[in-house]
Amino acid sequence: MKRLTLLRHAKSDWDDPVARDFDRPLNRRGEKAAILMGQFAARRAMQFDMLVASPAVRVVETLDVFFTGYGQILDAHWDRRIYLASSPILFDVVRDLPDKAESVLMAGHNPGLEELILDLVPDDGNNDLRENVEAKFPTASIAVLDLAIDRWSQAKEGVATLASFTRPRDLDPALGPSSR
């Protein structure tokens, strides 16, 4: 059994006049959500053997703030393939993970992370968590998946169970969609 925790970057600052999307930083609301999600992960005693992440500025900043709330820092394996990747590319990233890592944190972007969850978790028509992800995987959300595999190279569609799905607004309603 392998555990894959997916963290979508926090809300970025569209008002920042950066030349490239890759360089877009977080906004204040994103920083608040990222620290809250880090604190949540610490309270839940989430443990990770490895961190693989997009090197985009908004992901790097999300992780910096997340780890402030989490109370410890993980060394990141920066993987450019994660930046704006589709589900098939993210499957490649997952399949390339070292087998010694039992529990991996992957930080990246939508729509790829949402698609990956929907591909990994079978749609049995009776999974409220999966339906919530299908409706929207908001910024700074965390999804924890348990994969019924022994080696990461065995990752394929339908092998996971969605153990939990937590959005910032679940912890602080002020971080919901109607807030700014």
**What residue spans define the domains of the chain?**
2-175
The predicted structure's pLDDT at residue 78: 98
Q: Write down the pTM of the prediction.
A: 0.95
CATH code 3.40.50.1240 for 2-175: yes
Share of the chain above pLDDT 90, in %: 87
Which of 11-15, 63-67, 95-99, 142-146 has the weakest average pLDDT?
11-15
Q: pLDDT tens, 150-176?
A: 999 999 999 999 999 999 999 998 888
How does pLDDT run across 87-97, given as a tens digit for each residue?
A: 999 999 999 99
Q: Which residues have CB under 8 Å from 171's CB, separation 6+?
A: 36, 37, 40
pLDDT of residue 178: 61
| Structure confidence at residue 116 (pLDDT) | 98
Residue 125: predicted pLDDT: 85
What CA–CA distances, in Å, run from 179 to 17, 66, 89, 139? Answer: 23, 21, 33, 13
Three-class SS of residue 147?
strand
Residue 99 CA from chain centroid, whole number:
20
For 23-80, the pLDDT digits (tens) are 999 999 999 999 999 999 999 999 999 999 999 999 999 999 999 999 999 999 999 9
User: What residue ranges in the chain does DSSP mark as E strands?
Assistant: 2-8, 50-53, 76-78, 103-108, 142-147, 160-166
What is the C-alpha R_g of the chain?
15
Q: Is the CB of residue 36 less than 8 Å from the CB of residue 142? A: no
